[in-house]
Amino acid sequence: MSDPLLQTENLAKRFGGIVATDDVTLAIAPGELHAIIGPNGAGKTTLIAQLSGQLTPDAGRIRFAGHDISALPVHRRSHLGLARSFQITSLFLDLSVLDNVALAVQARAGHSFHFWRNARRERDLREPARAALARVGLEARANLPASALSHGEHRQLELAMALAGNPRMLLLDEPMAGLGPEESARMVAMLRELKKELTILLVEHDMEAVFALADRITVLVYGRVIASGVPADIRANAQVRDAYLGEAEHG
């Protein structure tokens, strides 16, 4: 295995008495699609928030592409090529679909104290934005206001915004949440395409999608890693079945 692209060492985060992340050590190789699963409240979103920089860990380190990023703010991490999407769709609903993605491009293009030139005609912003929309299959919707899109399309747009800065790695927080079966299938197909070019960390409840996509899976329970390995091992792991999978399959 080559050097990991993203690595955490003994990461820990607590909120008052609740341990949200408990001594988590992960290594994700370049090109890998690594899924994080676990029951509700296992600390998956908290983990993603620490990786992307919205939350600061209480202890432990995070390394990305050879840099120690444990203390870097969000925008510096995204400059290094680490992009995240949000679990709860959080878009600019009154701006156009293309504007949404162009803003994500602009965020990585240095400061925005440019007062005069028409930003909607700047190819440096619009071309990468259109390319990102094309990758998620939304190019035909580019000029609609974001509020006009369906929920499934919002998830695609969310993904396009994460892709806009040409990241090396995506942190995806439940991209299938709230999608119908058809939309989910489309999202799985899209992620399968993306994993050819990108390293992806995927937090997801949809087990079918996870086992279809993941190269490796880590199982979190109460903030702690109880198992990590290839899908077949995870499926066979008795502890995982007890803690999580069995319960999910019955329910």
Partner 1 sequence: MSGPLTLRNIVAAALLVALALLPVYSQFSHNVFLLTLFTRIVILAMAAVSLNLILGFGGMMSFGHAVYLGIGGYAVGILAFEGVRSGFVQWPAALLASALFALVIGALSLRTRGVYFIMITLAFAQMAYYVIAGLARYGGDDGLTIQQRSQFVAPLNLTDKTQFYYVCLALLFASLYLVWRLVNSRFGLVVQGARSNDTRMRAIGFPTYRYKLVCFVIAGTLCGLAGALLANHTDFVSPAMMYWTRSGDLIIMVVLGGMGSVIGPVFGAVALLVLEEVLSGITEYWQIILGPLLLLVVLFARGGIDGLLGKVRS
**Which residues here bind partner 1, judged by CB under 8 A?**
54, 74-75, 78-79, 86, 90-95, 99, 102-104, 106-108, 112-120, 122, 125, 161
- Shortest reach from residue 184's CB to partner 1, in Å: 24
Of 33 and 132, the one with the shorter C-beta distance to partner 1 is 132
Which is nearer to partner 1, 24 or 83 (by Cβ)?
83
SS3 category, 6 = strand
Question: Residue 125 or 132: which CB sits closer to partner 1?
Answer: 125
Between 32 and 158, whose beta carbon lies closer to partner 1? 158
User: How would you class 75 by CB atoms within 10 Å of its CB: exposed for 0-12, middle for 13-18, buried for 19 or more?
Assistant: exposed
Residues 53-63 as b/e (b if ≥16 CB within 10 A, e otherwise) read bebebeebebb
The minimum distance between CB 82 and partner 1, in angstroms, equals 11
Nearer to partner 1, 117 or 196 (CB): 117
CA distance 39 to 21: 14
DSSP β-bridge partners for residue 27: 7
Closest approach of partner 1 to the CB of residue 47, in Å? 16
- Helices 123-135, 97-107: axis angle to 10 degrees equals 120
Give the integer Cα–Cα distance in Å for 85 and 159. Answer: 6
Instruction: Supply the minimum distance, in Å, between the C-beta of residue 106 and partner 1.
Output: 6
What is the sign, positive or negative, of the torsion defined by CA atoms of 182, 187, 188, 189? positive
Minimum distance of partner 1 from residue 126's CB (angstroms): 12
CB burial of 170-199 (b: ≥16 within 10 Å; e: otherwise) equals bbbbbbbbebeeebbebbbebbeebbeebb
Residue 37 CB, shortest distance to partner 1, in Å, is: 24
Query: Distance between CA atoms of 84 and 142, rounded to whole angstroms?
Result: 21
Residue 203 or 219: which CB sits closer to partner 1? 203
